[in-house]
């Protein structure tokens, strides 16, 4: 067993100053507690701790439900080594649970990518697959290959679901497309979370999609019909419905800080999932990259489709997103809200019941943050993550 004490520990019960967490290593495979949290508590730990982070904050491992790559590697290429490398980059930044997002591609390429990520899901590298496309609006396609966009087709949906064998956990689609209603019902029946995004839907069309079972708004405000006083569009429908979790990219680029604060204040952190929407450029210097079939240039840590003003995902990691969500590390409410939006809410949204909280019986996934909320250590399923080099990772400036 490993006993961890810290100046601050954010558990399922609240913020403890000080607090402690006891975990069991994954190597104890014969034990039912292997790789899990054994106990949590407030105040003085029950025995001398194995690790004492007196000036640090311990939070649950981050859960990122929308990410395309990082550290120079991409989930969209269908290459096993690249998938591992991208997941490892984000794990070093505290993301212990990753939903790998694919972008719009041809039917053949999409099946190849799904097959590779299905293998990675079975191996525990990622927690599943998010199909962001190809059933998106051409008017709001953002950094997706418009030539490969198509309407939802029952045969293609069934083929992908069959190939993934349960690995597809979320699908983003535009509900105004012909065939979308049948697609939503088909996906929900298969246990897939349906998200509304990259859409030019009206308010009523978005409401209809929610009534059919859509429960997530993909990076709300981005790549969707904007809010208008006579045509409120999909954003208002997603924000006002308590059945919906709204994704927000809190990188200081995609959504203004004031709007982020307003959404959190009005919907509550229990309905907000902060995401990175990171691409391969995350963690690397400015330069040229690819997102699916599109060329992307990164300048001042902002990714854009080459020759366009269209933003192409982000270069953020979840620790940076967490810092953006916390106004004051000494404020218990701010810490609890940030933990909810970067771990608890996204995990619950996808039905990932064993992650997202520090509580007995759940996976021993946690992040140790210093006073500046920089990652100093990460534990995944009861084992400390070994960073690739002494520098741990290349930090990029917060926006």
Q: Is the pLDDT of residue 211 over 90?
A: yes
Alpha helices (H) in 107-198, listed in sequence order: 107-122, 154-164, 180-189
Q: What angle do CA 346, 314, 365 make, to 5 degrees?
A: 35
CB 102 within 8 A of CB 113: yes
- Structure confidence at residue 78 (pLDDT): 86
> What confidence score (pLDDT) does residue 315 get?
96
Q: What is the mean pLDDT of residues 175-202?
A: 98
What are φ and ψ of residue 124, in 5° steps?
Answer: 80, 10
What are residue 41's DSSP bridge partners?
20
Find where tokens 């962001």 sit.
Answer: 132
Spatial CB neighbours of 230, under 8 Å, sequence gap ≥ 6? none
Q: Give the pLDDT confidence score for residue 389 in this predicted structure.
A: 64
For 301-339, how does the pLDDT look when each residue is reduced to its tens digit (9 = 90+)? 999 999 999 999 999 999 999 999 997 777 889 999 999
User: Encoding tokens for residue 294?
Assistant: 């599109």
pTM: 0.94
Number of CB atoms found within 10 A of residue 390's CB: 5
| CA distance linking residue 35 with residue 21, whole number of Å | 13
Please give the pLDDT value at position 395.
37
3-state secondary structure of 132: strand
Question: Quick check: 397 pLDDT over 70?
Answer: no
The answer to whether residue 355 scores a pLDDT higher than 90 is: yes
277 in active site: yes
> Which residue among 251, 277, 319, 365 is the active-site one?
277
pLDDT of 393 over the 70 cut: no
Residue 354: CA atoms inside 13 Å, Cβ hemisphere, count? 13
Nearest to 201 by CA among 143, 249, 135, 253: 135
Q: For residues 201 and 176, is the Cβ–Cβ distance under 8 A?
A: yes
Q: Is residue 390 over pLDDT 90?
A: no
- Confidence check: pLDDT of 262 > 60: yes
Q: Do residues 359 and 37 touch, judged by C-beta distance below 8 A?
A: yes
Q: Are 220 and 189 in contact (CB under 8 A)?
A: no
The model's pLDDT over 97-138, given as tens digits with 9 standing for 90+, comes to: 999 999 999 999 999 999 999 999 999 999 999 999 999 999
Q: Please report how the helices 318-325 and 332-339 are oriented relative to each other, as an axis angle in degrees rounded to 10.
A: 140
Residue-averaged pLDDT of the chain:
94
Partners of 384 in beta bridges:
379
Mean pLDDT of 284-293: 93
Cα 114 to Cα 156: distance, rounded to the nearest angstrom: 12
Max distance between CA atoms of the chain, in angstroms, equals 63
Helices (H), 75-128: 80-92, 107-122
Quick one: DSSP state of residue 25? -
pLDDT category, 396, cuts 50, 70, 90?
A: very low
Buried residues in 137-150 as b, exposed as e (16+ CB within 10 A): beebbbbbbeebbb
The pLDDT assigned to 30 comes to: 61
| Distance linking the first and last C-alpha atoms of the chain | 39
């Amino acid at each position: 067993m490993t006993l961890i004490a810290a100046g601050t520990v954010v558990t399922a019960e609240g913020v403890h100053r000080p607090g402690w967490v006891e975990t069991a290593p994954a190597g104890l495979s014969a034990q039912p507690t292997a790789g899990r949290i054994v106990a949590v508590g407030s105040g003085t730990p029950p025995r001398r701790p194995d690790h004492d982070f007196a000036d640090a904050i311990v939070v649950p491992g981050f859960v990122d439900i929308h990410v395309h790559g990082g550290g120079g590697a991409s989930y969209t290429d269908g290459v096993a080594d690249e998938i591992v490398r991208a997941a490892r980059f984000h794990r070093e930044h505290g993301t212990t649970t990753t939903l790998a997002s694919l972008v719009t591609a041809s039917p053949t390429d999409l099946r190849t990518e799904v097959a590779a990520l299905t293998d990675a899901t079975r191996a525990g590298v990622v927690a599943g697959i998010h199909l962001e496309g190809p059933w998106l609006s051409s008017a709001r396609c953002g950094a997706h290959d418009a030539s490969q966009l198509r309407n939802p087709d029952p045969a293609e949906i069934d083929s992908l679901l069959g190939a993934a064998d349960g690995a597809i956990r979320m699908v983003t689609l535009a509900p105004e497309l012909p065939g979308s209603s049948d697609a939503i019902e088909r996906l929900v029946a298969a246990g897939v979370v349906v998200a509304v995004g990259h859409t030019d839907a009206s308010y009523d069309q978005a409401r209809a999609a929610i009534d059919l079972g859509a429960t997530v708004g993909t990076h709300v405000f981005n790549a969707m019909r904007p809010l208008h006083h006579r045509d409120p569009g999909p954003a208002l429908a997603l924000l006002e419905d308590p059945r919906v979790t709204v994704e927000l990219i809190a990188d200081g680029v995609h959504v203004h800080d004031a709007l982020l604060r307003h959404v959190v204040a009005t919907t509550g952190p229990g309905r907000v999932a902060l995401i990175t929407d990171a691409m391969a450029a995350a963690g690397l210097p400015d330069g040229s990259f690819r997102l699916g079939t599109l060329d992307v240039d990164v300048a001042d840590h902002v990714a854009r489709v080459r020759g366009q003003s269209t933003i192409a995902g982000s270069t953020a990691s979840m620790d940076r997103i967490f810092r953006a969500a916390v106004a004051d590390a000494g404020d218990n409410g701010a810490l609890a809200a940030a933990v909810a939006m970067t771990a608890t809410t996204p995990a619950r949204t996808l039905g990932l019941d064993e992650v997202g909280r520090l509580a007995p019986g759940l996976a021993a996934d946690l992040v140790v943050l210093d006073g500046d909320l920089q990652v100093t250590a990460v534990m995944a399923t009861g084992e400390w993550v070994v960073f690739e080099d002494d520098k741990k990772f290349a930090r990029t400036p917060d926006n």
